[in-house]
Amino acid sequence: MPTLLRLRATALTVTAVLLSTVLAGCGDDEAKDEDLTRQELSWEDCPTPSDAQGGGASPSPLPDGGEWQCATVKAPLDWDDPKGDTIGLELIRARSSGDEGARIGSLIFNFGGPGGSGVTSLPGSAEDYETLRTRYDLVSFDPRGVGRSAPVICQNDQQLDAYFQQDATPDDAAERTELLENTKEFNDDCEQNSETILPHVRTTDAARDLDLMRQVLGDDKLHYFGISYGTELGGVYAHLFPQKVGRAVFDAVVDPTKNGEQGSLAQAKGFQLALDNFAEDCVSKTEECPIGDSAQDVKDRIAALLKDLDRTSIPGVFPRELTQTAATDGILQALYSQELWEYLTQGLQQAYDGDGTILMLLSDSMNGRSENGEYDNSTAAHRAIGCADSKPRYDAAFVERKLPEFRAASALFGDAMAWGMIGCTDWAVAGAADHPDVRAPGAAPILVVGNTGDPATPYEGTRKMVDALGKGVGVELTYRGQGHGAYSSKNKCVQDAVNGYLLDGKVPRAGTVCT
């Protein structure tokens, strides 16, 4: 399992049937290879998404009938050897819908993960950003190691089916041994299948890619919208290239001061808070809550279900069965967005009656599995980027010492979060640092937006990012809401503040609170 749960935007893909030392900064340097900075992009109609991107159809036309365009930018495989081998980074854009004279430039999005395909995520949430398209070309990309950009490949679909069915919270020596062996096998397969790219997928590499994109797209400054892990990437960019920061927004903010253990513990607390809020919401409605008489009863029944599934699975999506691990993943997935709470309620009702279909579909969405049984490469990329970034390596003995603390943070999710820390134990590439360096003295203001009910990037990290960026850089905005992220909630106060900064350069008053 990953060291941390995957961090991504709230625009989660749920089908109609139900749907992670920072390298020394080079300051304000331009990309070293002039040939690459001067390359011309060939924008064409976007192909159908690759298996690593998640498959499916080409993006639908834009709201005004325009077509999405895709291109590939060449970047150094190794930024320490910029004249050496290159890789292709896949880009997607929607041209600005406004007058050319009003166009500011390109606004580059990263939707999180690490491991999420921006080429598929941006079209999926295009309507949310249509106002921003009046003055920007909207651009996103598959970061190195992701999707079509030199993807990390570890295991095949059948192996991943088994991997996600394993018992991720061992109760005895035999289960612990099996989990450790499966984790090592997964990591060994990653090394065997993706040895060339694994040393070159750190967030610092992706930040240098961002600056190359900025230059190739013709912008003097990087205008940027980072969500979830995208806030970490944006912070690292600001550290490396402070004088090149244009108008930037960080939404659903990663705490840059925490190491892997601290981040996992914070997520245990964050998802427990989201579960508490879900349970309270269910019993507060005028109609009877179908999954419990009180908030505590809701949580007790979920705990009992997971305990039962630890002993005996139930039918899920044929031929697979819903295990304790799959059910936990499904619950976690639904807690990312308040829009999914109704499906969680339905899925729990089903599961109490012996049918695990909805919870299994939610779990599949969490793990990047499509309806036809094919997986994208988000799990592999998430592991590769997280382990290349994070220096600590945690073994089973460490996890067992920490279990009481994690269980105190969340009786329901504590074990899973704690055992997830072993993901990088046998990784082939050494981790770079305990945590990212995001100090950015002299950078332009960065709007940093935190959601008080965010489970995956807890709200406390917002202030930590503001402080770490440095005086006069980070500008804090608080949204008192639920789910992962704020802008996509469609809260008018949040969207007005973000749009006002990105479109008109109006920096909100620090400490603004939106409800």
Choosing from 437, 454, 488, 489, the catalytic residue is: 454
Contacts 24+ apart (CB under 8 A), 369-375: 369/160, 369/161, 369/164, 370/54, 370/55, 370/56, 371/15, 371/17, 372/55, 373/157, 373/161, 374/51, 374/55, 374/157, 375/51, 375/157, 375/160
Based on the number of CB atoms within 10 Å of its own CB, is 45 exposed (0-12), middle (13-18) or buried (19 or more)? Answer: exposed
Q: Which two tokens stand for residue 391?
A: 């220096």
Residue 321's H or E segment, with its range, is strand 321-322
The pLDDT confidence band at residue 4, using thresholds 50, 70 and 90, is low
DSSP 96: -
What is the separation, in whole angstroms, between the first and last Cα of the chain?
35
Whether the model clears a pTM of 0.75, i.e. scores above it, the answer is yes
Nearest to 227 by CA among 247, 256, 252, 209: 252
CA 115 vs. chain centroid, Å, equals: 7
Q: State mean pLDDT over 196-212.
A: 98
Positive or negative torsion for Cα 233, 234, 237, 239: negative
pLDDT for residue 384 is more than 80 = yes
Nearest to 258 by CA among 465, 40, 450, 470: 465
Residue type, 305: L
pLDDT for residue 11 is more than 90 = no
Q: What are the residues whose beta carbons fall under 8 Å from the beta carbon of 341, sequence distance 6 or more?
A: 278, 281, 282, 334
Q: State mean pLDDT over 57-61.
A: 92
Q: So what's the pLDDT on residue 285?
A: 86
Q: What are the residues whose beta carbons fall under 8 Å from the beta carbon of 496, sequence distance 6 or more?
A: none
Query: In angstroms, rounded to a whole number, what is the distance separating the alpha carbons of residues 510 and 474?
Result: 9
Q: So what's the pLDDT on residue 32?
A: 45
The pLDDT confidence band at residue 5, using thresholds 50, 70 and 90, is low
Secondary structure percentages of the chain, helix, strand, coil, to 5: 45, 15, 40
Q: Is residue 310 among the annotated active site residues?
A: no
* Cα–Cα–Cα angle for 259, 260, 265, rounded to 5 degrees: 100
The pLDDT confidence band at residue 205, using thresholds 50, 70 and 90, is very high
Q: State mean pLDDT over 414-424.
A: 98
- 222-227 and 245-251: which strand pairing? parallel
pLDDT digits 0-9 by tens, 122-171: 999 989 999 999 999 999 999 999 999 999 999 999 999 999 999 999 99
Q: Which two tokens stand for residue 276?
A: 């508490």
Query: In angstroms, rounded to a whole number, what is the distance separating the alpha carbons of residues 71 and 50?
Result: 14
Query: In angstroms, rounded to a whole number, what is the distance separating the alpha carbons of residues 182 and 163?
Result: 7
Q: Is residue 140 among the annotated active site residues?
A: no
Q: So what's the pLDDT on residue 146?
A: 98
Query: In angstroms, rounded to a whole number, what is the distance separating the alpha carbons of residues 195 and 197?
Result: 6
Q: So what's the pLDDT on residue 21?
A: 28
CB-facing half-sphere around the CA of 287: CA atoms within 13 A? 2
Choosing from 140, 228, 378, 489, the catalytic residue is: 228
Q: Is the separation of the CB atoms in 289 and 297 below 8 Å?
A: no
Q: Is residue 484 among the annotated active site residues?
A: yes
The pLDDT confidence band at residue 34, using thresholds 50, 70 and 90, is low
pLDDT for residue 51 is more than 90 = yes
Choosing from 97, 149, 484, 489, the catalytic residue is: 484
The secondary structure of 266-304 as a DSSP string is HHHHHHHHHHHHHHHHHHHSSSPPTT-SSHHHHHHHHHH
Q: So what's the pLDDT on residue 7?
A: 60
pLDDT for residue 274 is more than 70 = yes
